[in-house]
Amino acid sequence: MSLKLKALTKSIWVFHLAAAPCNNCDIEILDALTPKFDLERFGIQLVGSVRHADAILVTGSMNRKSAERLKRVISQAPKPCFVIAIGNCSCSTEMFGKSYNETQPLDSVVPVDAYIMGCPPKPEAMIQGVVALIQSKLAAVKK
């Protein structure tokens, strides 16, 4: 188990799931994957299919329509797979909370492993969030 988890933390393939965002967080996610930040140093790669995903980055506020589709996509990911809420919208619905289309925070739809706040969060914040997630998972195994 420990070997599996160690390999997982050294090779995180992320899948980018946009659930009705304003596109701001998505652009910051793409920024984090550019040569300047070079996430491949830590084995982090962007993949196009949810079947390859180890971490799913969710942006945007879940509304009535996107929440169902989000559940379906996340249930298709092979386990173990982590869900990371990126941006204030997916963490807390931000200013769309009282909208007519019943937006809700991500953790009321699916269990969330890490929250990265910001509107939008900086690439550095995302890297720190992922590192914190890795450390917490490793620490949980050591106990």
Site for another protein contains 135 (CB under 8 A): no
CA distance 33 to 85: 17
Site for another protein contains 4 (CB under 8 A): yes
Q: Which is nearer to another protein, 76 or 136 (CB)?
A: 76
Number of residues that bind another protein (CB under 8 A): 21
Helix (H, G, I), strand (E, B) or coil at 30: helix
Site for another protein contains 143 (CB under 8 A): no
Q: Binder to another protein among 23, 80, 132, 135 (CB under 8 A)? A: 80
Q: Binder to another protein among 27, 30, 38, 99 (CB under 8 A)? A: 38
Q: Nearest 5°: CA angle at 74, between 112 and 23?
A: 80
Site for another protein contains 89 (CB under 8 A): no
DSSP bridge partners of 58: 17, 85
Site for another protein contains 68 (CB under 8 A): no
Identify the H or E element spanning 55.
Answer: strand 55-59
Site for another protein contains 52 (CB under 8 A): yes
Sign of the Cα pseudo-torsion (78, 82, 88, 90, in order): positive
Site for another protein contains 118 (CB under 8 A): no
- The 3-class secondary structure across 60-88, one letter per residue, is CCECHHHHHHHHHHHHCCCCCCEEEEEHH
Site for another protein contains 101 (CB under 8 A): no
Summarize as ranges the residues that interact with another protein (CB under 8 A): 3-4, 7-8, 10-11, 35, 38, 40-41, 43, 47-49, 51-52, 54, 76, 78-80
